[in-house]
Chains A and B, each alone.
Chain A
Amino acid sequence: MMVATMFQKTILNVHIYGGLLCFSYLIMFGISSLNFNHPLAFTRAKQEPTTWEHRVHLPDLPRPSATMTGERRVATKAAANHAVREALGLFGHQRPWAESWWDPEDPNHYHASLVRPGVEYEVDVFIDRELARVKETRTNAWMVMKGLHGFHGNMPGSAFVETWGWYTEFCTFVVVFASASGVYLWTRRKNERRVGFVLISAAATCSLALMLYLTLHG
């Protein structure tokens, strides 16, 4: 009996304190998820772009050759974009497809497209002049939260932002545990079992039936 009570208390404490540690993640996750279904205009608003310049020394910026395959071309542009990002002291990802390009009329001009939650950078690098002209467009807190939704993996140039990936992992496990432990803790209370059982059965049946129907019949 004592062991059962201790076990229940432990489950409850992990449920509570795990939930408290995931508080901000749950709030941001809920808001960003709602935004996926309701991309209201004000949540997608961008600020007016600003332009700034910075001296850069990039004489050996990787450039694709005519004989490269499409995949090699993309990899080369990715390397060029990261070189530009590091030279400017920025962090984030890059877009190595049509968004980044070498100027066909000026071999010293490269356009790099960089992006991270909250900001987009369109960078024009003039290799001979050792100059980068950056057009910076900031978004808003809604877009930042959307960018953090399920964020995992690396954030080139920022070890701090990369920690969010670990927080995602932690909160995923906590939420799954909290759901299971919540059901367990509910079963410990005799007077709520019947109502709860009806609710969980009806909701689970509807949810699973809906998923199954959409999968099989569309």
Chain B
Amino acid sequence: MYNVIRKVHLYTGLVILVFLMMYFVSGYVLIHRPWFGGQAGKPDPATRTESLAGYTGPRTPDALAAYVSGHFALRGRLNVPPPDKQPKGAIRFSVFRPGTIHEIRIPHDDLETLTIRTTRENAAGLLVHLHRIHGYGDGSLYNAYVLFNDLASFSCILFALTGVYLWWKTAKRKIWGVLCLTASCAYGAGMVLYLLHTR
């Protein structure tokens, strides 16, 4: 049993290492972005106007988003806000991939013209984007990425539990480990209970 748990702890770590490191490093950049240059080095957004002449499909946000992203080769995940989040007087959606966001706006009073505003990120921004990809349903590669995300999340729980087992089985003097584990559990549980029950 000890060897099985040890191998699970080791091999899970080796497999998920790169993704886990990406998440912790990018998460650190996310919360301390000014330390990593902030917005410095970002190119200015580029805006261009394009024509929808020739489009004969429905003039709904979802249909237009699918057409525009394919026709103008805007690669990435589509994000079409629901009707209650659409601005008055225009249709708005975006196409996102790590490091690049295309924001598209089609005014209701001129449905033949659209503006595409492209924003590119610096290195810190790219890491933040990689950190924030969530949710299945945008093609096999994004699904694979999000699956790795899930595996990295699950591995945190697995490392913690298998790690405790391995320590318990190998430590000769357990007092220091017990103190560390008790402190961690008391603090974590205490924080959650405090936030749940305090006014």
A contact set with B: CB distance below 8 Å: 16-17, 19-31, 33-34, 36-38, 89-90, 116-119, 136, 138, 140-141, 144-145, 147-148, 150, 152-153, 160-161, 164, 167-168, 172, 175-176, 178-179, 182-183, 186, 192, 195-196, 199-200, 203-204, 207-208, 210-211, 213-215, 217-218
Range class of the B interface residue count: 35 or more
Q: In this assembly, does B40 line the interface, its C-beta being within 8 Å of a C-beta of chain A? A: no
Q: In this assembly, does B66 line the interface, its C-beta being within 8 Å of a C-beta of chain A? A: no
Q: In this assembly, does B24 line the interface, its C-beta being within 8 Å of a C-beta of chain A? A: yes
- Nearest residue, chain A, Cβ from B139: A218
Docked Cα-Cα span, A118 to B183, in Å, equals: 23
B contact set with A: CB distance below 8 Å: 10-11, 13-25, 27-28, 30-32, 75-77, 95, 97-100, 126, 130, 133-136, 141-142, 144-146, 148-150, 152-157, 159-160, 163-164, 166-167, 171, 176-177, 180-181, 183-185, 187-189, 191-192, 194-196, 199
Q: Given A17-B180, A19-B163, A24-B188, are A192 and B18 neighbors across the interface (CB < 8 Å)?
A: no
**B184 contacts A23, C-beta separation under 8 Å:** yes
Residues of B within 8 A of A16 (CB): 163, 166-167, 171, 177
Q: Distance (Å) between the CB of A36 and the closest chain B CB?
A: 5
- Nearest residue, chain A, Cβ from B18: A207
Q: Given A37-B136, A203-B16, are A172 and B10 neighbors across the interface (CB < 8 Å)?
A: no
Q: Distance (Å) between the CB of A180 and the closest chain B CB?
A: 9
Residues of B within 8 A of A118 (CB): 195-196
**A214 contacts B141, C-beta separation under 8 Å:** yes
- Nearest residue, chain B, Cβ from A152: B31
**A148 contacts B159, C-beta separation under 8 Å:** no
**B160 contacts A26, C-beta separation under 8 Å:** yes
- Nearest residue, chain A, Cβ from B189: A24
Residues of A within 8 A of B98 (CB): 211, 214-215
